[in-house]
Amino acid sequence: MITYNIHPVNPQHRFIEAAARVLESEGGIAVYPTDTVYGIGACVTNPKGIDKIARILEKDKTRLFSFICSDFSQISRYVRVSNAHYKLMRRYLPGPYTFILNATNLVPKRIAPKRKTAGIRMPSSTAVLELVKLIGEPLANTSVKINGSNVCDPEEIKQTMRHSVDILLDAGPLDNPEPSTIIDLTEDNPVLVRLGKGVWEETGD
């Protein structure tokens, strides 16, 4: 595992470029900071990388992949977004939210076996957003957990995942690590699935 120590607010571009090359050209997988916890991901067009992540996380069968997107153009390729849902998401993204929407046929089976819905993230984390912009496609993402707990300290990741992961973007321990707030947008009205780090004040009326 190659580790790049990045600035948490203004990450060094050369390190983001190096991580993008490993993900895009070498089919690698990476761990990176988000606005919630550390995530682990691979390019959505890299089935081997996605399978590798699935094997790493095999003990936790309930966990799902989400898509980390850099903009709404990417989002609209993988999920169906109505005008009302687009306006709602614009109010909250980038931010610590996962929006569940009806999937398009571009969603890989490995991420969503039934291809019915997909979770979308656009974190307010400069490092991962720049990474996704550089590779030009979303990351198949899930949170890093060790012994069932979310990880906020990269030193734990180094100790337990150094032989499993290709790249670690180390921004240091994360402040106030919490999971994302999950909102279901598969119907007309938004439904709060899980209240996490993101504040949610919509009523769905």
Residue 103, domain CATH: 3.90.870.10
On the question of pLDDT at 86 being above 70, the answer is: yes
Instruction: Give how many domains the chain has, as a whole number.
Output: 1
What are the residues facing 121 on neighbouring strands? 68, 98
The residue ranges of DSSP E strands in the chain, in sequence order, are: 2-5, 30-33, 38-43, 66-68, 97-102, 117-121, 139-143, 145-146, 149-150, 167-170, 181-184, 191-194
Residue 147 lies in a domain: yes
On the question of pLDDT at 57 being above 60, the answer is: yes
pTM, full prediction: 0.91
Residue 179 lies in a domain: yes
Residue 120 lies in a domain: yes
* Beta-strand relationship, 117-121 and 66-68: parallel
- Lowest mean per-residue pLDDT among 47-56, 161-170, 186-195: 47-56
On the question of pLDDT at 205 being above 50, the answer is: no
- Tell me how far apart the alpha carbons of residues 150 and 154 are, in angstroms, rounded to a whole number: 11
Residue 202 lies in a domain: no
pLDDT at 166: 94
Structural domain span for residue 147: 2-194
Kindly state the average pLDDT of the residues 13-35.
94
- Tell me how far apart the alpha carbons of residues 90 and 62 are, in angstroms, rounded to a whole number: 29
Residue 83 lies in a domain: yes
